[in-house]
């Protein structure tokens, strides 16, 4: 990234958000380089020599944006501040929405788990009522329970990656705590083989007992439970990632707790990816102490649908993403990471980049508010008048600049589709179109649900500017998901059609033109449905013909619905990027996002080593670009030299070439200043063999620490191996 | 702290009567939240109603000889005893026998289970706390009576505590409850019971603690202490460590089928119904295990199933009904025999989901496809990585070049096809051998190489499709290669791939795939086939690799891509 003043504040923003998250995070640093296509193909044949082909330069887009920025001159800190504020506002809105959405997705599950916990608690204490004396006695109770089982909720996360679910389990814990249960959150860290069973017991006690002694003894817990305020509430132990625990320790823990479960109502809640992991992880004598019930979290795709609907489809934030970015993020989610967390992070990065790069982005928040726009327009006319009067008022100039930008955007918008000259109309059109667009997408999604089409796919489809539905001759539309949806709509059975129309009428409430038609269609369908019911009561001989008739009507109704959808799609499904003023709210620069999201550290380390001169900017070696000079950093010299070798580098050769590089340029440079005699005298004490060797060793170790080479093996003691994954 | 004399009423009486007698602190008895002692706890009831030896024998079926022997070992009150070791398999009634006997005899004992007391310090302090009548509470910061970490300290403290416990309470008792009339006998002997002694062997300091415990009688030299060890391991396991008086060992054998029948029949509401149930299940299950706890966990859900057709559970079943119930239970019986752990859905919604998925499964079975949904969400690159790991684990490394090298394409295949019977047999043998050996380990480099081979082909096909298909854009092929290492750690965390060896910078870690064929097929079927892959590639490569599996993958793969084309 070019260190422009614009990009500074967002970077600090990114940094501060990471502290809020949990300790375990998906980190983006370890991603591998993007291999060039040609390079990868060539890799099969010429494997021995791998050279890095350096990228031509940093991505073009920042430069372009810089150019735009500099032409308008938003270097002014006022703009920066405005945009920063706008970003803070927008992101905090989006963030709270996302959190709400995710908790809403899990609300029913939480209630269910609580119900289950209560029932199992009642079952546990159903026997004889215990008194404090019994609970604290060290020996097992003499009752007739043969095998003491701990109630266990196995919560299927349905996700190989557990990052998304950590927050869910925390929330579940808080939910149960608010209902009066004792909660202890244990993680796989507590069940590591090093600490043994003491580790998990200690962290259990620490979370439950306020002034716990350092000795993690179960009798402490039992005495704690006998305190009047703790008594008679279940003790729920939440383990969010059971797969990652050490099996032996977890088994010990279960066996130990099973000795106490009759006295202490212990209940487990475990997050597992699949049900049979418990079988793989635990021995049978621990398993038999678990009385497990199964619960299922919403799948990541479900959560993703809810999230996309709330954040991207509903136009309430003044921020959206373009087609390229949407496709990028979809691929990122499906192909690469698969976590909501990283999707949200990508979204945030897009948001940061948008607000830092788009000069007008601070208007985004207000653009959906009609009054605000009018205010802006009034101000515009006033300021333009004032500016003509008082030329030196910088404030006025600034404001004028804003509206100049607006105008410019308007003029740019002229190129894409039908635009108005008038600023006000353009903005209100954008507003209206966005609303219509989102309701049509939701309608499409309702149809797509029957075919398990994800909202994100529809969103990607709908934002594609090449699919502009306004062009009637566009055949691409037919091939797309939307086309599929249309076909789907024709085949729906009557009952689901009724449901579908109900949902449509909710979605299109603000879209008056379509809403009427949906209502009409609804009444038609309902009447035909009633008719069907009536007809079914009629006598047998009529049934055949009647059912045929009914089939025909429903078919025609389906056809009508499909036609309506088609009409909606053609009329309103205009991709955001085809609207004028879309720059204000729409982020389209996929390259920036990509480079920000996938910081290729491995590749970058190598590139930096190769081109250390660009960073050092010293006078001695910048003149000759590809020639190694002794003034360069040793590690850099070494790495450049290593490029001449294959996978295996002979230490001998490497050392000699290093030595000659270090010394050779001395020969080049020194004669200019000194006589050969003095050079010899000078170089021999400074560059002794030992010091060169020491420098060599140090550089090798640095390369090893950077993960670029591997130390000599026993088989080949004088060869180091290059570690190059795909590069 | 020891012996709260201030509460002469109920707690003090408990001191005298109940065996391990720790007086309740007043603060703990008074709170209203605790269940009021409406009826006395079982311990009290047992001690108030005099319990005869016959009751004891009836309570513990099949343990008559062991009980009698144990009674003989501990002898009459106030008589010193030799240390005793009770051993036998898990769930053979060792602990419960001891507890019941002491309750019957109303003798004082101290109990410490080496499972709950998982370290020497906790074990020592638990014993001392019980001897000193110390109770952890918030007032004393949940601390124990004496801090005791070393074995030598323990011996000293124990000696002190014992002398105090033996002499102290007797005076008290004479003061407070002389009315009971047998004051002089009880309390002389204190028995120390150590349960699960075999676990000590795996402790860090087990080699020190175990000899100490077994030599306790010699060390303490107090005749008023009886030592009882309960162990799952044979006495031989401890001989090498003792070098002192060998404890008298009492063996608890497994229960016989009749005993089991008797045990399970206790406390059943509908005796007839349960006995008819037991007549079906007990025989086959007791052949697998005779552990009461395992049987109990297996029987509970089965009995629920058994009773499902019945509306009235108090019904006495006749022959026809029994047959009907048997028919109902039959299909679940073998499944339950093979299954040690079942996760049952709890809510109705989950049950409904389960049913629909089962129905879907059956439908697929009819259509010859056996792959149910992959019920876990993974990113595409993780799926490819999982398949690569599976292939690397199941194929010998020597085959890799032939399978994945760019030169070993179709020519190679033709050569293979022409191969003679003998070489085919050899291949079969090799495949079988690999199958028998189970999944092998592989280094990271090999995994990545295979992964790269698979994904590079996917990229090609994707590129071809891009011209027609607008959905996949140029960004997509990059993703598969993007962060294999990150995905690998995810898969390791989810236990799909396991890591062996220690991780160093040198990278000598080896991996092993943990998934079975079904899972791999599911991944292939559900995940990978959605990406259009060139069938020719698959035909080239997979029929040779790992034989049966390879061809299966290949078939499904090609089927998948064909289906996708048809869908279009």
Q: Is the pLDDT of residue A87 over 50?
A: yes
Contacts of A146 in chain B (CB under 8 A): 91, 263, 292-293, 296
The chain B residue lying nearest A289, using CA atoms, is B297
- DSSP annotation of A159 reads B
For residue A142, give the nearest of B42, B346, B493 by CB distance: B42
Do residues A304 and A343 lie in contact, with contact meaning Cβ atoms separated by under 8 Å? yes
Higher-pLDDT residue of A281 and A551 is A281
Residue B352 pLDDT level (bands cut at 50, 70, 90): low
Torsion of CA A221, A225, A230, A235, to 10 degrees: 70
pLDDT at A403: 62
Using a CB-CB cut-off of 8 Å, the residues of chain B touching A327 are 473, 475
Question: Coil, strand, or helix at residue A46?
Answer: coil
Which residue has 């496709």 as its token pair? A327
On the question of pLDDT at A238 being above 90, the answer is: yes
Structure tokens at B121: 């310090």
Higher pLDDT, A469 or B296: B296
Q: Who wins on pLDDT, A646 or A49?
A: A646
Distance of alpha carbon A228 from alpha carbon B556, whole angstroms: 63
- Between CA A687 and CA A696 the distance in angstroms is 12
pLDDT (average), residues B485-507: 72
Report residue B284 as tokens: 């086959």
Two tokens at B373?
């949904």
pLDDT at B553 > cutoff 80: no
Question: Can you tell me the mean pLDDT for B205-222?
Answer: 83
Confidence band of A272 (pLDDT split at 50, 70, 90): confident
Q: What is the pLDDT of residue A404?
A: 61
Q: Rounded to a whole number, what is the distance in angstroms from the first to the last CA of chain B?
A: 83
DSSP A54: P
Q: Are strands B84-88 and A648-650 parallel, antiparallel or unpaired?
A: unpaired
A591, A61 Cβ separation under 8 angstroms: yes
Interface test with B, best of A38, A219, A220 (most B CBs within 10 A): A219
Q: Are strands A719-722 and A709-710 parallel, antiparallel or unpaired?
A: antiparallel
Half-sphere exposure of A605 (CA within 13 A, CB side): 18
Q: Which of the pair, B212 or A365, is modelled with greater confidence?
A: B212
Lowest mean pLDDT, pick from A179-188, A414-423, A433-442, A610-619 = A414-423
Per-residue model confidence (pLDDT) at position B374: 65
Using the Cβ of A451 and the Cβ atoms of chain B, whether some distance falls under 8 Å is answered with: no
CB of A717 within 8 Å of a chain B CB? The answer is no
Q: What is the mean pLDDT of chain B?
A: 70
Query: How far apart are the CA of B543 and the nearest CA of chain A, in angstroms?
Result: 23
* Sign for the pseudo-dihedral over CA of B500, B501, B505, B506: negative
Extract the tokens encoding A362: 């601070």
Neighbour-count burial of A29, counting CB atoms closer than 10 A to its CB (0-12 exposed, 13-18 middle, 19+ buried): exposed
Test mutation, B9, B13, B28, chain A, max A CBs within 10 A: B28
In this prediction, residue B433 has a pLDDT band, given cuts at 50, 70 and 90, of confident
Name every chain B residue with its beta carbon within 8 A of the beta carbon of A324: 473
3-state helix, strand, coil in chain B (%, to 5): 60, 10, 35
C-alpha A438: how far from its chain's center? 22
Are the beta carbons of B267 and A288 separated by less than 8 Å?
A: no
Q: What is the pLDDT of residues A109-118, one digit of tens each?
A: 899 999 999 9
A476 or B386: which carries more pLDDT confidence? Answer: B386
Q: Which DSSP letter does residue B77 get?
A: T
Band of residue B184 on the pLDDT scale cut at 50, 70, 90: very low
Instruction: Give the mean pLDDT of B330-350.
Output: 75
Predicted local distance difference test score (pLDDT) of residue B508:
65
Least confident of A118-122, A456-460, B84-88, B272-276: A456-460
Ramachandran angles phi, psi of A539, nearest 5°: -75, 165
Mean pLDDT of all residues in A56-76:
41
What CA–CA distance (Å, rounded) separates A376 from A387? 15
- Residue B130 at interface with chain A, using a CB cutoff of 8 Å: yes
What span, in angstroms and rounded, lies between the C-alpha atoms of A114 and A199?
28
Q: Do B505 and A707 touch (CB under 8 A)?
A: yes
- Strand partners for B84: B228, B248
Residue A719 near chain B (CB below 8 Å): no
d(C-alpha A370, C-alpha A432), whole Å: 11
The C-alpha atoms of residue A444 and residue A457 are separated, in whole angstroms, by 11
Please give the average per-residue pLDDT across A10-27, as a whole number: 40
Over residues A192-207, the pLDDT tens digits come to 888 888 888 989 988 9
Tell me, rounded to whole angstroms, the distance of Cα A669 from its chain centroid: 54
Range with the largest mean pLDDT of A675-684, B388-397, B449-458? B388-397
| Chain B neighbors of A461, CB-CB under 8 A | 471
Q: CA angle, B212 as apex, B209 and B214 as ends, to 5°?
A: 110
**Are the C-beta atoms of residues A193 and A246 closer than 8 Å to each other?**
yes
pLDDT reported for residue A114 = 92
pLDDT tens per residue across span B89-146: 888 888 888 888 888 888 888 999 998 888 899 999 999 988 888 888 888 888 888 8
Among A598, A569, A359, smallest CA distance to A464 is for: A569
Residue in this structure with the two tokens 């007839």, named with its chain if needed? B272
Please list, in sequence order, all residues whose beta carbon lies within 8 angstroms of the beta carbon of residue B166, skipping any fewer than 6 positions away. Answer: B187, B188, B190, B222, B224
Domain ranges of chain A: 36-55+599-669+686-722, 65-72+304-583, 107-297
Task: Please state the pTM of the whole predicted model.
Answer: 0.71
Lowest mean pLDDT among A345-354, A580-589, B351-360: B351-360
Instruction: Identify the top-confidence range among A259-273, A495-509, B310-324, B506-520.
Output: A259-273
What per-residue confidence (pLDDT) applies to A492? 62
Domain A107-297 part of CATH 3.40.50.300? yes
Residue B176, chain A, CB below 8 Å: the answer is no
Q: Longest Cα pair distance anywhere in chain A, in angstroms? A: 123
Question: Are A138 and B112 inside 8 Å of each other by CB?
Answer: yes
* Residue positions counted in chain B: 568
Interface check B55 vs A, CB under 8 A: no
Residue A269's nearest CA partner among A196, A174, A189 is: A174
B43 contact residues in A (CB cutoff 8 A): 134, 142
Q: Name the one residue in this structure whose structure tokens are 């006598």.
A: A539
Can you tell me which residue has the tokens 């801090």? Answer: B147
pLDDT band at A237 (very low <50, low <70, confident <90, very high): very high
Centre a 10 Å sphere on the Cβ of residue B568 and count the other Cβ atoms it contains: 9
Exposed (0-12), middle (13-18) or buried (19+): which is B313, by Cβ within 10 Å?
Answer: exposed
Q: What is the largest CA-CA distance in chain B?
A: 102
How many contacts, defined by CB atoms under 8 Å, are there between A and B?
286
User: What pLDDT score does A418 carry?
Assistant: 43
pLDDT classification of A230: cutoffs 50, 70, 90 = confident
Q: Is A466 on the interface with B (CB under 8 A)?
A: yes
Residue A400 pLDDT? 59
- A267 pLDDT higher than 90: yes
Judging contacts by C-beta atoms under 8 Å, the chain A residues touching residue B495 are 243-244, 273, 277, 280-281
Please judge whether A132 and B112 are an interchain contact, meaning their C-beta atoms are less than 8 angstroms apart. Answer: no
Q: Of B414 and A515, which is predicted with more confidence? A: A515
Instruction: Give the dihedral of Cα atoms A87, A93, A94, A99; nearest 10 deg.
Output: 140
pLDDT at B547: 37
Neighbours of B48 (CB within 10 A): 10
Q: Is the pLDDT of residue A72 over 90?
A: no
A656 phi/psi in degrees, rounded to 5:
-65, -40
* Integer angstrom CA distances of residue B508 from B441, B442, B566: 12, 10, 47
- Average pLDDT in chain A: 70
* Percent of chain A at pLDDT exceeding 70: 61
Chain A residues touching residue B382 (CB < 8 angstroms)? 160-161, 338
Looking at beta carbons, which residues of chain B come within 8 Å of A725?
448, 484-485
Contact A292 B341 (CB under 8 A): yes
Q: Look at A173-177, B337-341, B491-495 and tell me which has the smallest mean pLDDT.
A: B337-341
CA A430, A435, A438, A440 torsion-angle sign: negative
The residue among B144, B160, B133, B135 whose CA lies nearest residue B16 is B133
CA distance A306 to B195: 55
Q: Predicted ipTM?
A: 0.76
Pairing of strands B497-500, B510-513: antiparallel
d(CA B307, CA A9): 69
Burial degree of A274 (CB within 10 A; 0-12, 13-18, 19+): buried
Closest Cα to residue A195, out of A249, A273, A244? A249
Q: Chain B within 8 Å of A459 (Cβ-Cβ)?
A: no
Q: Which residues of A touch B379 (CB under 8 A)?
A: 161, 333-338
Interface test with B, best of A25, A160, A163, A271 (most B CBs within 10 A): A160
Instruction: Quote the CA–CA distance of B145 and A183 in Å, as a whole number.
Output: 29
CB atoms within 10 A of CB B251: 16
Instruction: Tell me what pLDDT residue A623 has.
Output: 57
B527, pLDDT greater than 80: no
pLDDT the model gives residue A235:
92
At A372 the pLDDT is 54
The Cα–Cα gap between B137 and A228 comes to 11
Range with the lowest mean pLDDT among A458-462, A490-494, A706-710? A490-494
- The verdict on A30 touching B (C-beta cutoff 8 Å) is yes
pLDDT score of A537 more than 60: no
Is the model more confident about A414 or about A423? A423
Query: Minimal Cα distance from B101: which residue of A?
Result: A142
CB contact under 8 A, A243 and B122: no
Supply the angle between the helices A394-416 and A370-389 in degrees, to the nearest 10: 120
Task: Report whether pLDDT(A664) > 60.
Answer: yes
Given a cut of 50, is residue A417 above it in pLDDT? no
């Amino acid at each position: 990234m070019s260190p422009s003043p614009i990009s500074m504040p967002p970077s600090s923003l990114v940094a501060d958000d990471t502290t809020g998250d949990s300790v375990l995070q998906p980190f983006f640093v370890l991603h591998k380089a993007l291999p060039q296509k040609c390079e990868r193909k060539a890799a099969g044949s010429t494997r021995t020599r791998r050279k890095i082909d350096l990228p031509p330069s940093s991505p073009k887009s920042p430069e372009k944006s810089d150019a735009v920025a500099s032409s308008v001159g938003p270097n002014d800190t006022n703009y920066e501040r405005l945009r920063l504020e706008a970003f803070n506002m927008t992101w905090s809105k989006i963030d709270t929405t996302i959190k709400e959405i995710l908790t809403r997705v899990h609300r029913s599950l939480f209630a269910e788990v609580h119900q289950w916990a209560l029932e199992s608690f009642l079952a546990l204490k159903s026997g004889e009522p215990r008194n404090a004396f019994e609970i604290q006695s060290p020996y097992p109770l003499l009752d007739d329970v043969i095998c003491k089982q701990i109630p266990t909720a196995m919560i299927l996360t349905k996700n190989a990656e557990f990052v998304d679910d950590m927050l869910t389990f925390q929330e579940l814990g808080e939910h149960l705590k608010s209902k009066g249960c004792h909660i202890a959150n244990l993680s796989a860290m507590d069940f590591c083989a090093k600490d043994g069973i003491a580790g998990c017991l200690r962290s259990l006690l620490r979370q439950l007992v306020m002034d716990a002694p350092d000795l993690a003894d179960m009798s402490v817990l039992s005495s704690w439970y006998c305190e009047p305020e703790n008594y008679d509430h279940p003790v729920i132990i939440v383990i969010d990632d059971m797969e990652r625990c050490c099996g032996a320790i977890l088994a010990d823990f279960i066996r130990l707790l099973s000795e106490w479960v009759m006295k202490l109502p212990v209940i487990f809640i475990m997050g597992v990816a699949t049900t049979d992991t418990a079988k793989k992880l635990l021995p049978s004598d621990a398993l038999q102490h678990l009385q497990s019930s199964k619960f299922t979290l919403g799948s990541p795709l479900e959560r993703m649908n809810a999230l996309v609907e709330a954040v991207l489809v509903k136009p309430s934030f003044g921020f959206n993403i373009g087609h390229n970015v949407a496709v990028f993020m979809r691929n990122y989610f499906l192909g690469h990471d698969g976590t909501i967390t990283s999707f949200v992070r990508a979204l945030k990065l897009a948001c940061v980049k948008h607000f830092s790069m788009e000069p007008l982005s601070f208007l985004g928040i207000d653009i959906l508010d009609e009054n605000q726009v009018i205010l802006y327009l009034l101000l515009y006319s006033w300021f333009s008048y004032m500016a003509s009067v008082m030329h030196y008022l910088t404030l006025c100039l600034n404001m004028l600049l804003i509206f100049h930008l607006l105008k410019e955007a308007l003029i740019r918008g002229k190129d894409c589709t039908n635009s108005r000259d008038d600023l006000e109309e353009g903005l209100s059109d954008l507003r209206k179109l966005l609303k219509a667009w989102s309701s049509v997408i939701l309608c499409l999604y309702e149809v797509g649900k029957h075919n398990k089409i994800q909202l994100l796919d529809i969103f990607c489809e709908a934002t594609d500017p090449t699919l502009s539905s306004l062009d009637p001759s566009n055949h691409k539309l037919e091939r797309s998901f939307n086309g599929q949806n249309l076909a789907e709509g024709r085949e729906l059975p009557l009952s689901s059609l009724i449901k579908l129309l109900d949902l449509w009428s909710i979605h299109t409430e603000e879209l008056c033109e379509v809403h009427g038609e949906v209502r009409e269609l609804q009444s038609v369908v309902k009447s035909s449905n009633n008719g069907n019911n009536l007809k079914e009561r009629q006598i047998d001989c009529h049934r055949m013909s009647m059912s045929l008739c009914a089939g025909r009507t429903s078919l025609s109704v389906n056809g009508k619905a499909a036609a309506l959808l088609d009409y909606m799609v053609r009329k309103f499904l205009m991709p955001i990027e085809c609207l004028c003023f879309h720059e204000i709210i729409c982020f389209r620069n996929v390259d920036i996002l990509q480079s920000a999201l996938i910081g290729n550290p491995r590749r970058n380390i190598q590139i930096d080593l190769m081109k250390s001169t660009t960073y050092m900017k010293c006078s001695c070696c910048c003149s000759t670009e590809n020639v190694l000079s002794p003034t360069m950093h040793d590690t850099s010299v070494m790495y450049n030299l290593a490029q001449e070798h294959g996978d295996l580098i002979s230490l001998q050769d490497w050392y000699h070439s290093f030595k000659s590089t270090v010394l050779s340029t001395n020969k080049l440079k020194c004669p200019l200043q000194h006589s050969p005699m003095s050079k010899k005298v000078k170089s021999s004490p400074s560059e002794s063999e030992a010091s060169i060797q020491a420098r060599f060793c140090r550089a090798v170790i640095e390369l090893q620490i950077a993960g670029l080479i591997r130390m000599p093996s026993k088989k080949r003691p004088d060869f180091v191996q290059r570690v190059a994954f795909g590069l | 702290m020891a012996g709260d004399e201030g509460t002469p009423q109920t707690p003090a009486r408990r001191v005298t009567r109940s065996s391990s007698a720790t007086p309740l602190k007043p603060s703990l008895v008074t709170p209203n939240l605790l269940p009021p002692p409406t009826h006395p706890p079982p311990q009290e009831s047992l001690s108030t109603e005099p319990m005869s030896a016959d009751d004891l024998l009836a309570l513990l079926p099949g343990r008559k000889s062991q009980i009698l022997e144990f009674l003989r070992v501990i002898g009459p009150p106030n008589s010193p005893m030799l240390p005793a070791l009770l051993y036998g398999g898990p769930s053979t009634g060792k602990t419960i026998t001891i507890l019941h006997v002491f309750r019957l005899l109303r003798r004082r004992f101290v109990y410490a289970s080496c499972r709950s007391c998982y370290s020497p310090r906790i074990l020592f302090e638990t014993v001392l706390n019980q001897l000193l009548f110390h109770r952890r509470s918030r007032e004393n910061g949940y601390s124990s009576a004496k801090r005791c970490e070393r074995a030598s300290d323990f011996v000293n403290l124990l000696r002190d505590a014992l002398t105090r416990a033996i002499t102290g309470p007797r005076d008290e008792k004479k003061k407070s409850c002389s009315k009971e009339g047998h004051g002089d006998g009880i309390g002389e002997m204190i028995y120390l019971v150590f349960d699960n002694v075999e676990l000590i062997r795996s402790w860090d300091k087990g080699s020190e603690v175990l000899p100490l415990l077994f030599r306790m009688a010699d060390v303490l030299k107090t005749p008023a202490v009886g030592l009882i060890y309960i162990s799952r391991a044979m006495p031989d396991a401890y001989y090498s460590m003792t070098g002192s008086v060998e404890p008298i060992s009492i063996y608890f054998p497994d229960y016989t089928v009749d005993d089991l029948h008797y045990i399970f029949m206790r406390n059943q509401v509908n005796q007839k119904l349960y006995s008819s149930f037991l007549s079906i299940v007990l025989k086959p299950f007791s052949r697998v295990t005779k552990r009461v706890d395992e049987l109990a966990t297996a029987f509970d859900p089965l009995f629920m199933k058994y009773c499902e057709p019945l509306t009235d559970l108090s019904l006495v079943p006749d022959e026809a009904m029994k047959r009907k119930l048997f028919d109902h239970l039959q299909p679940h019986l073998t499944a339950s025999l093979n299954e040690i752990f079942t996760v049952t859905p709890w809510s109705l919604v989950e049950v409904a989901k389960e049913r629909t998925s089962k129905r879907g499964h059956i439908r697929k079975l009819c259509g010859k496809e056996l792959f149910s949904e992959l019920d876990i969400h993974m990113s595409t690159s993780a799926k490819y990585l999982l398949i690569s790991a599976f292939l690397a684990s199941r194929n010998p490394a020597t085959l890799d070049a032939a399978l994945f090298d760019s030169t070993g394409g179709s020519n190679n295949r033709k050569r293979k096809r022409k191969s003679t019977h003998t070489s085919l047999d050899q291949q079969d043998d090799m495949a079988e051998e690999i199958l028998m050996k189970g999944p092998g380990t592989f280094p990271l480099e090999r995994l990545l190489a295979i992964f790269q081979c698979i994904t590079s082909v996917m990229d090609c096909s994707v590129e071809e499709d891009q011209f027609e298909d607008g959905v996949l854009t140029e960004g997509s092929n990059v993703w598969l290669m993007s962060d294999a290492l990150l995905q690998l750690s995810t898969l390791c965390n989810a236990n799909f791939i396991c890591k062996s060896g220690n991780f160093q910078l040198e990278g000598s870690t080896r991996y092993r795939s943990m998934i079975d064929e079904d899972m791999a097929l599911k991944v292939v079927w559900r995940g990978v086939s959605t990406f259009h892959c060139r069938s020719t590639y698959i035909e080239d490569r997979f029929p040779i690799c790992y034989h049966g599996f390879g061809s299966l993958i290949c078939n499904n793969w090609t089927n998948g891509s064909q289906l996708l084309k048809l869908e279009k």
